[in-house]
Amino acid sequence: MSLLLAFADEAELAQGLARAMGWTLSLVDVHTFPDGETRLRLPPRLPTHTVLLRGLQRPNDKLAALLLAAAGARELGAQRLSLISPYLAYMRQDIEFTPGEVVSQRHLGRLLAGSFDAVITVDPHLHRVATMDEVVPGRRGLALTAAPLLGGLVVQQVPGALLMAPDEEAGQWVRAAAAAHGLDHAVCHKQRHGDHDVAVSLPDQDVRGRAVVLLDDVASTGRTLVAAARGALAQGAASVDVAVTHALFVGDALQQVRASGVRHVWSTDCVPHASNAVSVVPLLAAALQALD
């Protein structure tokens, strides 16, 4: 029997996954000292195969506890230790864009490879790296995609919708969702001038009278979605909705997206959020069964 370890803020996803696998779930007991350090308590004996669930949204708040929990799990009997990180941070920086920049993907990947035998994630923000095996050298890396799940939701909620990627990077997910459900799709072009300053050009496709659904892997500041939504509505789209894998929505991002004319916002439960509408539990369970 395997054991699933998780933290309290991800208990709902963990409970669903434990039920799907028929595993025992144990929540890591966390005590935070006044100076910000944490004390972790795990079950005193862990089975040979233990799986730790920890998403890395707000990664700087979580990485130390994650690495400590992994080291403790090894000491307590976990000979095969796997990480499920539905949202895996620090993936965008995969090369040195300017001299002296730290390549965060490379170094985080090595840290995780030193702690876990396998790393499973969903729709990681990879660019010049083809597989998760490259991110965690010498370990098993699995990159799952929730795009077909989001496409299924779109078919239910907005039959006949035009799926649109707000930028080229999101094209892979839009194509996967469209192929799974026979949806029309298109890809926008984005120019980024800063973290909060983007320009989006719509594709040469008539959107007049169409229901458009913007589909992306992650919504952070929301500025790309805002620009794409405004552009589609300006060109006569009947409606614009948004479907994303990772609902980060930093600060007032969600309000900005809604203010741009977006009707509905849907996300997976990779990141706990009020917009969660699709569960990745079946996706994660299938990946765990394949690992076994």
Q: Which residues are catalytic?
A: 190
Beta bridge partners of residue 278, listed in sequence order: 268
Cα distances from 275 to residues 219, 227, 254, in angstroms, run: 11, 20, 10
Distance CA 161, CA 170 (A): 17
- Closest alpha carbon to 179 in 152, 212, 157, 204: 152
Q: Are 93 and 62 in contact (CB under 8 A)?
A: no
Distance CA 237, CA 130 (A): 35
Cα distances from 70 to residues 22, 36, 61, 82, 90, in angstroms, run: 22, 19, 16, 9, 19
Positive or negative: CA dihedral 189, 155, 158, 253: negative
Distance CA 253, CA 223 (A): 8
Distance CA 116, CA 82 (A): 5
Count of beta carbons in the 10 Å neighbourhood of residue 2: 19
**Backbone dihedral angles phi then psi of residue 238, each to the nearest 5 degrees:** -70, -35
